[in-house]
């Protein structure tokens, strides 16, 4: 299951992160939303969703995996970090629905079906955006607009995720300098570049180097990936697999690393329908969709997704200095200079991707 979810992460990144543009998304948030419609699906619609979400896993394994994810990550707030995952399922008022589906939704999500009416579209949009704002610490305040809702919209899935964490070893703000970031061979811009030398887990091979930056608590870390050959990130991303991400995480070794990383803030909002169709989930978005565990009415599905991340000297919000772990003076120094487009991921327990993205143009 973990491998299937990593492959899902890479597939979404490859669709959205084209031409060195900056992208932020939450694979975890999207997959938990897709699992919601998986619970409503039957026949070929269900099989397509299963193949995408679980690969070769059994239905039992798929259900157990998401039950644990939703239980463990839906709302975590402690002295180390804050993580809040929220999903909501709307169906147009007047459509007949199966009573059992509401019970299933409550079992997995602690949620129930919500209705939206034929009138009062602007009031509904305001209500949804207030829900989004409440669940992202006021970071995502416009998840949908009035244009998102048409007469054909019968079902609407919403998902948000919010994370705030502090670096285990923070950057000194006094060391941050304005420096050049090279978008491509012909384009560049000025950024505020954070700098430090620290003992970090570092990976390298012929095509990439990667470094792991832990947050306080050691459960969550940021994985940064740079191409070894300048301006070749698009080629790295084209060939990237879920197994590669596991390799970068688990084969990293402690090194003394000279690190430069831009401060950055990214916001993204997508209707993922066309991207998911291109990745193989076609039936769920067609007139042939079989959502018979929810309703026998023909439904046109939309999935709205929004993400936000801010990275600075103290840590990350998306939506006292601590010493590093290793002090071996014999470790070979490495330089990780993120002054060109790079990939990043926020990883929980070395396997679950909370956020992923690309910092570029």
Write down the pLDDT at residue 227. 96
Tens of pLDDT, residue by residue over 57-78, are: 999 999 999 999 888 877 777 7
Distance CA 345, CA 361 (A): 18
Write down the pLDDT at residue 331. 45
Write down the pLDDT at residue 240. 95
Write down the pLDDT at residue 298. 67
Query: Taking Cα atoms as reference points, which of 222, 228, 234 lies closest to residue 262?
Result: 222
Write down the pLDDT at residue 51. 93
pLDDT at 322 over 50: no
pLDDT at 320 over 50: no
Tens of pLDDT, residue by residue over 103-155, are: 999 999 888 888 887 668 888 889 889 998 898 888 888 888 888 777 777 87
Write down the pLDDT at residue 187. 92
CA 254 to chain centre: 27
| pLDDT, mean over the chain | 86
Write down the pLDDT at residue 1. 75
pTM of the model: 0.88
Two tokens, residue 103: 């019970």
Distance CA 156, CA 349 (A): 31
Two tokens, residue 329: 């003076």
Write down the pLDDT at residue 48. 94
Phi and psi at 23, nearest 5°, equal: -140, 140
CA angle 145, 151, 156 (to 5 degrees): 55
Domain 2-165+265-310: homologous superfamily in CATH: Antithrombin, subunit I, domain 2 (3.30.497.10)
Asked whether 245 and 236 are in contact (CB, 8 A), the reply is no
Asked whether 225 and 342 are in contact (CB, 8 A), the reply is yes
> Which of 114-118, 142-146, 205-209, 327-331 bottoms out in mean pLDDT, i.e. has the lowest?
327-331
Distance CA 334, CA 106 (A): 50
Q: How many CB atoms lie within 10 A of CB 50?
A: 18
**Mean pLDDT to the nearest integer, 207-223:** 92
The Cα-based distances of 113 to 48, 61, 80, 237, 291 in angstroms read 23, 25, 33, 38, 14
Write down the pLDDT at residue 224. 97
CATH 2.60.40.790 assigned to domain 168-262+315-359? The reply is no
Tens of pLDDT, residue by residue over 247-275, are: 999 999 999 999 999 998 888 777 788 88
Write down the pLDDT at residue 155. 79
Tens of pLDDT, residue by residue over 264-305, are: 888 877 778 888 899 899 998 888 889 899 887 766 677 777
Quick check: helix, strand or coil at residue 198?
A: strand
Domain boundaries, the chain: 2-165+265-310, 168-262+315-359
Write down the pLDDT at residue 287. 84
Write down the pLDDT at residue 88. 85
């Amino acid at each position: 299951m973990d491998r299937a979810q990593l492959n899902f992460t890479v597939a979404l990144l490859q669709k959205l992160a084209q031409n060195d543009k900056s992208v932020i998304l939450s694979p975890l948030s999207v997959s938990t939303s897709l699992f919601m419609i998986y619970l409503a699906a039957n026949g070929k619609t269900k099989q397509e969703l299963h193949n995408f979400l679980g690969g070769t896993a059994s239905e039992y394994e798929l259900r157990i995996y998401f039950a644990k994810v939703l239980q463990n990550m839906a709302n975590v707030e402690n002295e180390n970090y804050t993580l809040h995952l929220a999903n909501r399922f709307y169906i147009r008022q007047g459509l007949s629905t199966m009573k059992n589906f509401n019970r299933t939704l409550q079992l997995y999500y602690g949620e129930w079906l919500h209705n939206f009416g034929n009138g009062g579209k602007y009031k509904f949009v305001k209500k949804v955006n207030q829900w989004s704002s409440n669940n992202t610490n006021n970071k995502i305040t416009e998840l949908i607009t009035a244009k998102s809702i048409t007469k054909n919209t019968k079902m609407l899935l919403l998902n948000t995720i919010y994370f705030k964490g502090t670096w285990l070893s923070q950057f000194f703000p006094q060391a941050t300098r304005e420096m050049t970031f090279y978008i491509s061979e012909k384009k560049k811009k000025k950024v505020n570049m954070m700098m430090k030398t620290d003992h970090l887990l570092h990976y390298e091979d012929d095509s990439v180097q990667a470094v792991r930056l832990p947050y306080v608590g050691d459960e969550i870390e940021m994985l940064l990936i740079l191409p070894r050959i300048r301006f070749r990130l698009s080629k790295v991303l084209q060939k990237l697999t879920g197994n590669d991400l596991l390799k970068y995480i688990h084969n990293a070794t402690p090194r003394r690393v000279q690190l430069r990383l831009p401060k950055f803030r990214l916001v993204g909002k997508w209707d993922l329908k066309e991207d998911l169709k291109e990745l193989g989930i076609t039936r769920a978005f067609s007139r042939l969709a079989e959502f018979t565990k929810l309703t026998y009415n023909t439904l046109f599905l939309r999935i709205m997704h929004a993400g936000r991340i801010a990275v600075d000297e103290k840590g990350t919000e998306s939506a006292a200095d601590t010493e590093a772990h290793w002090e071996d003076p014999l470790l070979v120094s490495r330089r990780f200079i993120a002054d060109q487009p790079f990939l990043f991921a926020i990883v929980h327990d070395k396997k679950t991707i909370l956020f992923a993205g690309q910092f570029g143009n």
